[in-house]
Chains A and B, each alone.
Chain A
Amino acid sequence: MATGDAVLSMTSVPIAQPGSEMQQGTATTRIVNDFSIQVATVNGSGSQSANSILLKSLFGMGIPVSGKNLFPSNIAGLPTWYTIRASKDGYVARKKDIDILVALNAETAKEDILSLHPGAAAIYEASLDLKQYREDVSCYPVPFDKLTAAVCPESKLRKLVRNMVYVGVVAKLLEMDVTEVERAVRNQFAKKQKAADLNWSAVNAGYEYAGETLTKHDPYCLERMNATAGKIIIDGNDAAAVGCMFAGVTVVTWYPITPSSSVVENLIDLMKRYRVEPDGKATFAIVQAEDELAAVGMVLGAGWAGARSMTATSGPGISLMAEFAGLGYFAEIPGVIFDVQRTGPSTGMPTRTSQADILSIAFISHGDTKHVMLLPGSVKECYEFAGAAFDLTERLQTPVFVLSDLDLGMNNWMSEPFDYPEKPLDRGKVLTAEDLTRLGGFARYKDVDGDAIPYRTLPGTDHPLAAYFTRGSGHNDKALYTEKPNEYQEIMERLASKFETARTLVPAPVVVQTGKSEVGLIGFGSSDFAIVECRDQLKNEYGLETDYLRLRAYPFSPAVHEYIASHERVYVIEQNRDAQMLSLLKLDSPAAEITKLHSVLHFNGLPVDARSVTEAVVVQEGL
């Protein structure tokens, strides 16, 4: 990397005169639009707006950007980090190295600066005196409190406004386009002119201070590009909420849990705005349930009675939903369940990301059950798969799970704007009173069409033959009570066939195949961002061409097996300890394919980064 050299040459840069434009490094040492910034603060200090303004400013400058919030399970007081990555090449995964640190948390400051690589830069509260720890890092002490007090007479507001000062300092040091910064500030406080003015003056204070007092001697800077035109920035949970609204969801139930709460919180805002009719009446019901058991019970009750119903939760909630999930499978009831995955149980790491609910959801509940899972790999797919999930759940008459994760769900991502759905809603096989008259009745659990999907009626259908009795395992194809072995087995076999139908209906994998490579990668969900970058690293740094298949659903499409069969070695990349997706693939694959499968795992609670994947593949490939 060029950073080491850069630092050496930068030491000779003359000190800028107060009031003059800051001196810059020479062109050969500049690292443009390709670095990461980490802001270390204290939870509850209100740095969210400042970080969002930084992100939006870069986006406004046309530079591909991503932002990640690494926060503790705490309301106030514990350390939190926000990372912004600018990447001219469009890489948006987490970057393993931090290039620019903004250290505002006294408690972690020493550790934060010690973690930097030589040649990195650090902006910090002057009183922390971090220079003593790192001679090899470009240090920029800033008296944040003093600068804040000067622009913000009201002491109550200072904690918040202080964050804007670092926006100004960063803007100056990185040569940001100030018009974009101002635009971002004004947008952020669009409805509050006074707040906008106050915050903007704080940005300016930081900007001016940096201009007058600091001498730039790091290589990092920003230049306008044109790579974000027409794009949007949104997080996965918000995207999913938009998707649900356009999917025509009518019944939403939930029990708050990080990192899924904002799916429903966003949905509440959207529905109140766009789904209330002129007479003030709602075309939806959103209920905060007493727990996840009740949330999913309501989803199934509503799905049974004909609604497009959903809930959003995370791992602990999924565990509580186990019994009902099985009932939904056996009784063949639609319902959409979003799982925004996080790490393990109870207190500790609930605000960290993972992809570790794969196996538990695939078979959740008791008895012979298996479930359809959709695996969005971008915010756009969070939006699109919400629609797909409702169509599939009503078509297949079985609960459908959408597995996102904290990284995808709660962080901001660039995206192409979402497309308005072209296809009408698929409400599945529902018989009306007229149908019943024409058919002379129906058998609720009979496979009439050969796709193993039966017909259903909805409560309220005005026909004496419309009603049927819904129960768990003991029913025959007419929905009559039975404990006969052959009748039970028949139903179970049809349910298995229905899962085969699902295989053909769920989103197919996305395959990038050159036909030249022996090595295939398989990934899914939020790992995609790192895998895309990892493939470039493998190719450019190690000369290893790879193919790539991104799974988008379970059950697996036949294309998945064709892909495995056509490679010598296949690396399954996932964010959990026990290779859950690999295990699921093994269950689904013939022996000849199983021996080709290898594993790359990432499970420390941080989003997976490209470098880690590249290194793991390189070791296993013996490169």
Chain B
Amino acid sequence: MATTTVTNAPAPKTNRLGLQVLDYRGGKTTLCAGCGHNSISERIIDAMYEMGVQPERLMKLSGIGCSSKSPAYFMGRSFSFNSVHGRMPSVATGALLSNHTMMALGVSGDGDTASIGMGQFVHLLRRNLPMIYIIEDNGVYGLTKGQFSATADVGSKLKTGVINDLPPIDTCSLAIQLGATFVGRSFSGDKKQLLAMLKAAIAHKGTVMLDVISPCVTFNDHEGSTKSYKYMQEHEEAIAEVGFVPSFEDIAVDYDPGTTYNVTMHDGSHLRLRKLHEGYNPTDRVTAVTQLMQSHATGEVLTGVFYVNTEKPTFIDQLNLVDAPLGTLPQERTRPAKAVLDEIMSKHR
């Protein structure tokens, strides 16, 4: 416009939709400073921004816990449903059935998933529902002040001195066995790996299950904890280096097929997994589970993408739904004609 004053400020950086990072932010976090969950929110913002996801096309779903609160702190322009403890999978399933054209991101905690929510979690995996399911895993119930969760390692110690003596549930092994088609583990402090995994997750069609170790600075970050920042810095071991080349970035990146798996994702982007561990094979479920079990024995925390399958049909594919969202189909498509009622009535004569 003619009256516009010219400023010298550089144009703000935008993504392929012309949106700024700002458009991907949410409310101010109310979690503890230093909580791993906050870093995960940051990486989600980065990944969504860099992938150019339209915020209005995303549904955020969560259960109950500090972790499950976090959807309030990213992507404020996306629809969000903070549901009940352990039952987010069913809510996500319903929401996607109503509108399968949306992207869905579920945020849960280790308590929310591996204890109260185990029943729904395993069935979500089994259905290969197309969504990203993140466990923000701190080994404790943060919101109820630090009790052990079912992902706590044997020998891990609470501040009160209580030692966990029950074996942990490995949500990644479980997810691989039960049918999730993109399974990985990361660490809230490993920015690069987590970002690459999240971007690949956005490109995937099917259930993405990411267990992200996310230290609870208030209740489980002390000496003796196996989910502390220090423990992770000392014991994290990447099974492969995760690289991601989005479909819209037309750059040819060289890779060595001898050491690197190249997975072509549903949208044409590429996931490059450079082998760091002997025998690594992300396309084989048995190998993946074996390696996870071996790492438990050595006390290493294996991270990276363990398993990926881009072929398996999703739950939505199997239901063979019409293309338009079911929820907003017009009456003409959902209420059969009077002749149909007449036919049904005549069968009951």
Instruction: Please list the residues of chain A having a beta carbon within 8 angstroms of any beta carbon in chain B.
Output: 231-234, 238, 242, 245-251, 253, 270, 274-275, 277, 280-285, 287, 289-291, 293-309, 323-324, 327, 331, 417-418, 420-421, 424-425, 457-464, 466-472, 481
Which of B89, B120, B329, B344 sits near A283, CB closer than 8 Å? B329
* Beta-carbon contact of A467 and B81 below 8 Å: no
Q: Which residues of A contact B87 (CB under 8 A)?
A: 293-294, 297, 323-324
Residue of B nearest to A293 (CB): B87
B336 at the interface (CB under 8 A from A): yes
Most chain B beta-carbon contacts within 10 A, residue among A247, A289, A463:
A289
Residue contact A301 to B326, C-beta cutoff 8 Å: no
The answer on a CB contact under 8 Å between B94 and A305 is yes
Contact in complex: B82, A469 (CB < 8 Å) = yes
Option from B76, B79, B91, B326 in Cβ contact (under 8 Å) with A250: B326
Contacts of A285 in B (CB 8 A): 97, 319, 321, 326
Asked if B78 CB lies within 8 Å of chain A CBs, one says yes
Q: Enumerate B291-349 residues with CB–CB distance to A below 8 Å.
A: 319-323, 325-329, 331, 333-336, 338, 340-341, 344-345, 348-349
Q: Do residues B97 and A418 form an inter-chain contact, with CB atoms below 8 A?
A: no
- B77 engages A246 (CB within 8 Å): no
**Which residue of the partner chain, among B72, B101, B322, contacts A277 with CB atoms under 8 Å?**
B322
Q: Which of B80-120 contact A (CB under 8 A)?
A: 80-84, 87, 89-99, 101-102, 119-120
* 25 contacting pairs across A/B (C-beta < 8 A): A242-B344, A248-B331, A249-B334, A251-B94, A275-B334, A282-B320, A282-B322, A285-B319, A290-B119, A294-B123, A295-B90, A297-B89, A300-B83, A301-B81, A301-B94, A305-B98, A306-B98, A306-B328, A327-B84, A420-B341, A425-B334, A459-B79, A463-B56, A467-B77, A471-B81
User: A301-B98, A307-B98, A470-B79 are known contacts; what are 10 more A-B pairs with Cβ within 8 Å?
Assistant: A246-B341, A250-B98, A285-B321, A298-B94, A301-B95, A302-B98, A305-B59, A305-B325, A458-B99, A459-B102
Taking each of A287, A327, A469, which has the highest tally of chain B beta carbons within 10 Å of its own beta carbon? A469
Q: How far is the CB of A308 from chain B (nearest CB, A)?
A: 7
- Whether the pair B99, A467 counts as a contact (CB closer than 8 A) is no
Q: Chain B residues near A305: list those with CB within 8 A.
A: 59, 94-96, 98-99, 102, 325, 327
Contact of A459 among B82, B99, B123, B345 (CB under 8 A): B99
A279 to chain B, nearest CB (A): 8
Distance A390 CA – B102 CA, assembled complex (angstroms): 24
Residue of B61, B329, B331, B349 most packed against chain A (CB within 10 A): B349
Whether the Cβ atoms of B79 and A468 lie closer than 8 Å is yes
A304 x B94 contact (CB < 8 A) = yes
Q: Is B57 at the interface (CB under 8 A from chain A)? A: yes
Complex CA distance for A445 and B195, rounded to whole angstroms: 36
- Give the distance to chain B from A281, nearest Cβ to Cβ, in Å: 4
CB of B143 to closest CB in A, whole Å: 13
Q: Judging by beta carbons under 8 Å apart, are B90 and A294 in contact?
A: yes
| Interface pair B341/A242, CB less than 8 Å apart | yes
Task: Name the distance in Å between A522's Cβ and chain B's nearest Cβ.
Answer: 31
For residue B91, which residues in chain A have a CB less than 8 angstroms away from its CB? Answer: 297-298, 300-301, 304
CB distance from B247 to the nearest CB of A (A): 23
B52 at the interface (CB under 8 A from A): no
In the assembled complex, the Cα of A306 lies from the Cα of B95 at a distance in Å of: 8
A327 contact set on B, CB distance < 8 A: 83-84
Q: Considering the chains assembled together, what is the distance between the CA atoms of A507 and B348 in angstroms?
A: 26
Residues of B within 8 A of A303 (CB): 94, 98
Judged by a CB distance under 8 angstroms, whether B55 is at the interface is yes
Interchain CB contact under 8 A, A289 and B338:
no
B327 contacts which chain A residues (CB < 8 A)?
250-251, 302, 305-308, 458
Q: Are A290 and B349 closer than 8 Å at their CB atoms?
A: no
For the complex formed, measure the closest distance between the CB of B244 and the CB atoms of chain A, giving whole angstroms. Answer: 26
| A377 CA to B310 CA, complexed, in Å | 52
In contact, A300 and B94 (Cβ under 8 angstroms): yes
**In the complex, what's the smallest C-beta–C-beta distance from B12 to chain A, in angstroms?**
16
What chain A residues lie within 8 Å of B329 (beta carbons)?
A: 248, 250, 283
Q: How many residues of B are counted as interface, with CB atoms below 8 angstroms from the partner's CB atoms? A: 56
Chain A CB within 10 Å, residue with most, of B61, B83, B325: B83
The complex places the Cα of A290 from the Cα of B95 at a distance, in Å, of 17
B335 neighbours in A (Cβ, 8 Å) = 246-248, 421, 425
Contact (Cβ within 8 A) A306 B325: yes
**CA of A296 to CA of B345 in the docked complex: distance in angstroms?**
30
**Docked complex Cα distance between A463 and B55 (Å):** 10
Contact with A along B53-77 (1 / 0, CB 8 A): 0011101010000000001100011
Interchain CB contact under 8 A, B94 and A302: yes
> Considering the chains assembled together, what is the distance between the CA atoms of A232 and B349 in angstroms?
5
Query: How far is A421 from B23 in the complex, measured between Cα atoms in Å?
Result: 45
Instruction: Please measure, in the bound complex, the distance between the C-alpha atom of A471 and the C-alpha atom of B186, giving whole angstroms.
Output: 28
- Pick from A287, A324, A471: contact of B82, CB below 8 A: A471
Give the complex CA separation of A84 and B97 in angstroms: 43
Which B residues are in CB contact (< 8 Å) with A457? 79
The interface residues of chain B lying within 8 Å CB-to-CB of A277 are 322, 333
Cβ of B224 to closest chain A Cβ, rounded Å:
34
Expressed in whole angstroms, the minimum distance between the Cβ of B112 and any Cβ of chain A is 13
Name the distance in Å between A474's Cβ and chain B's nearest Cβ: 10
Assembled-state Cα–Cα distance A217/B55 (Å):
82
The CA-CA distance from A552 to B336 in the complex, in Å, is: 27
| A421 contact set on B, CB distance < 8 A | 335
Q: Please, how many angstroms separate the alpha-carbon atoms of A34 and B313 in the complex?
A: 59
Nearest chain B residue, comparing its CB with the CB of A250: B326
Name the 7 nearest CB pairs between A and B, nearest first.
A301-B94, A297-B90, A306-B327, A248-B334, A307-B98, A305-B98, A298-B94
Residue from A233, A280, A290, A459 in contact with B59 in the complex, judged by beta carbons closer than 8 Å: A459
Are B56 and A246 in contact (CB-based, < 8 A)? no
Partner of A290, one of B77, B97, B99, B123: B123
Shortest CB-to-CB span from A304 to chain B, Å, is 6
Q: Which of B262-301 contact A (CB under 8 A)?
A: none
Inter-chain contact A246/B59, CB cutoff 8 Å: no
Interface centre among B72, B78, B80, B91 (most CB of A within 10 A): B91
- Let me know if A294 and B119 touch, CB within 8 A: yes
Q: For chain B, residues 13 to 33, give those with C-beta under 8 angstroms from any C-beta of chain A.
A: 27
Name the B residues within 8 Å of A232 (CB-CB): 345, 348-349
How far apart sit A459 and B331, CA to CA, in the bound complex (Å)? Answer: 19
Once the chains bind, are A274 and B120 in contact (CB under 8 Å)?
Answer: no
Cβ proximity bits B115-130 to A, threshold 8 Å, 1 near / 0 not? 0000110010000000
- Among B80, B97, B101, B120, point to the contact of A251 (Cβ < 8 A): B97
Indicate if the CB atoms of B348 and A425 lie closer than 8 Å: no
CB contacts (< 8 Å) of B71 on chain A: these are: 469
Q: Is the CB of B334 within 8 A of A308?
A: yes
Which of A231, A233, A302 gathers most chain B CB within 10 Å?
A: A302
Q: Which of B76, B84, B97 contacts A287 (CB 8 A)?
A: B97
**Across the interface, which residues of A come within 8 angstroms of B56, CB to CB?**
460-464, 466-467
How distant is A428 from chain B, measured CB to nearest CB, in Å? Answer: 12
Q: Are A467 and B341 in contact, CB atoms less than 8 angstroms apart? A: no
Other-chain residue from B82, B94, B322, B323 in contact with A470 (beta carbon distance below 8 A) = B82
User: Hey, which chain B residues are within 8 Å of A253, CB to CB?
Assistant: 94
Report whether B333 and A283 are in contact in the complex, using a CB–CB cutoff of 8 Å. yes
Q: A246-B341, A420-B341 given as contacts; is B322 within 8 A of A283 (CB)?
A: yes
Take A302-B327, A324-B87, A459-B79 as given contacts and tell me if A274 and B340 are in contact as well, using a CB distance cutoff of 8 Å: yes
Asked if residues B319 and A297 are in contact (CB atoms below 8 Å), the reply is: no
- Complex Cα gap A242–B71 (Å): 40
Bound complex: CA A249 to CA B98 (Å): 11
Whether B82 contacts A298 by the Cβ 8 Å rule is: no
Chain B residues with CB below 8 A from A418, complex form = 341, 345
A467 / chain B contacts, CB cutoff of 8 Å: 55-56, 76-80
B243-266 near A? 1/0 per residue, CB < 8 Å: 000000000000000000000000
